[in-house]
Structure formats: structure tokens, C-alpha cells
Amino acid sequence: MDGAPYLRKVDLKLYKTYQELSDALGKMFSSFTIGNCGSHGLKDFLNESKLVDLLNGTDYVPTYEDKDGDWMLVGDVPWDMFAESCKRLRIMKGKEATGLAPRAMEKCKNRNYK
Amino acid sequence: MDWPRANSPLEHSTSSCHRFTPQDCDEEADGVQSKERRAYVKVNMDEVIVGRKICILDHGGYSSLALQLEDMFGKQSASRLRLFQAGSEFCLFYKDREENWKTVGDVPWKEFVESVKRLRIGRKSKSLLSYSPTFS
């Protein structure tokens, strides 16, 4: 999660739905956030247009790196398809997810998330 | 807070992909799953880090596809995408099964559905010939 001081590992096989994952991530990172990512789970995590509504950059967006190395928004495909293709999760700051920076993309690629 | 469940119908679609549930698994499961898997294609927009996935079988034609992409990416531009409209700043490209990038809309819809592997929303000002795919 962007801004959190350490990384966490999750076993996607433990969950069967996006809701379960969302709840788990919310609890996992609740201590690092106020407001939009409380213990109730990541607030307004996803709706179809949410990605592009995040103009103020204070919200977080769940993204994942797939087996091809592409960063995708979580939630577009059925759960099983997601769980199989997801290599890494990143809860990205909204501003970075919607913008527009080759520099940000390089950060995305080079940052060593394990 | 609700994450969209992938098996809930999309607003503009017949959601043929999303009706697949684990309960449907039987001896046809492998065939259904691979067809469903192929039906999901990645969509990226120039200079936007995070891509999306759409189910191409949700759509019956280009205008339906344009509507969904407008919902997903339209707010990235002040003038919206307005794909396929004259005066739009953006153009929709697709990668076909031969790994060639082409402009969406040149072939009949059914032919497009069978050959599309990936989509990209790019600015018209960039020539397709000079396009160096950031996305493989």
C-alpha cells in the first residue's frame, strides 16, 4: 500500500470473492490510514468510474500486476481469473493511478515490491 | 462499501461473461472457462498507468464498446473520448491474433470480436506507424 512502512503478503487462495479480499486488506492496512481506508475496508473501493473520479488523490485504488507485468485495476474480471493472474497487489494512491506520468510508470516498474 | 462483483450485470451489456459461476462447472467447464478467458481483453490508455479489462462478448457492436470505454476512461480527458466521432482527439486501436496493431472499426464487428486480443486508446495526433508499444 502506498505510504505504508512495510509490505504484507496475502494468500489469495484464502478468499473466494473480491469482498472477502477487500475486507481483509482493509483490516490489514487500517492502522496506516485515516478516513478513506478505515477498518471497514477500503472505502468506495471500486465502481465502474471510480478510477477516474479520484481527482484529489486522497483515495486509494486497488491495482494488481498480472503475469504479463501489466498493472490493472482490481475487479474487472471474475474472481477466479483474477486470483490466477495476480502476481502482486498494490493499493495505489488515486492520483498516481489516474495519471499521466511516464515517471510514475517507471516508479511502478522499478519499485521492488516483494 | 461494495466492490463490484464480477458476476453482476454491467449497465450496458448482456453480461454473457458474467453469468458464468463456479456452480456451472461440469464437463463443459474447461471449454467455457477458456472461451470466457479469451473474451476478456485488456484496455490501456496512453499515459494512464492502470489498465482495465472488458469482456468483449458483452457488446453487440462498436457503439456499445465505445460507451463502456467512455465510462471507464472518459474522464481522463476534458473533452471525453468520443471514440469513433468526428473531431475526437482519441482513436481506438486493437492488437489482433497476428500481433498487429490496427484501428478499431475497419472490419465487421464479428470479425473484430474473433481477432481482438488487446485494446489501446491513443491520441490521434500520434501516428500508428510511429507507435512503439509500451504494452506488449
What's residue B126's pLDDT? Answer: 63
Chain B positions in Cβ-Cβ contact with residue A104 (cut-off 8 Å): 49
- What pLDDT, in 10s, does the model give residues A17-29? 998 888 888 788 7
Contacts of B97 (CB under 8 A, 6+ apart): B115, B117
| β-sheet bridge partners, residue A61 | A92
Chain B positions in Cβ-Cβ contact with residue A52 (cut-off 8 Å): 72-76
Task: Name which residue leads in pLDDT, A53 or A85.
Answer: A85
Q: What is the DSSP letter of B51?
A: B
Interface mutation target, options A76, A79, A92, A106, chain B, most CBs of B under 10 Å: A76
What's residue B13's pLDDT? Answer: 42
Distance spanning both ends of chain A, measured CA to CA: 12
Using the beta-carbon criterion (under 8 Å), do A52 and B51 form an inter-chain contact?
no
B50 contacts A2 by C-beta, under 8 angstroms? no
Of A67, A102, A57, A74, which is closest to residue B49 (Cα–Cα)? A102
* pLDDT beyond 60 at B8: no
- Tell me which residues of chain B have a C-beta less than 8 Å from any C-beta of chain A: 1-7, 10-11, 17-18, 20, 22, 36-37, 40, 42, 44, 47-54, 71-76, 134-136
Task: Name which residue leads in pLDDT, A32 or B38.
Answer: B38
What's residue A13's pLDDT? Answer: 87
Using the beta-carbon criterion (under 8 Å), do B37 and A68 form an inter-chain contact?
no
- What pLDDT, in 10s, does the model give residues B22-70? 444 454 556 666 777 789 999 999 989 999 999 999 999 999 999 999 9
ipTM for the complex shown = 0.71
Whole-model pTM? 0.71
Find the mean pLDDT for residues A92-110. Answer: 59
What's residue B50's pLDDT? Answer: 92
Question: Residue B60 has which C-alpha cell?
Answer: 453487440
What's residue A5's pLDDT? Answer: 73
Find the mean pLDDT for residues A49-53. Answer: 40
Q: What is the DSSP letter of A63?
A: E
Going by pLDDT thresholds of 50, 70 and 90, the confidence category of residue A47 is very low
Contacts of B115 (CB under 8 A, 6+ apart): B94, B96, B97, B107
What's residue A56's pLDDT? Answer: 43
> How big is the CA angle at A108 (ends A79 and A76), to the nearest 5 degrees?
20
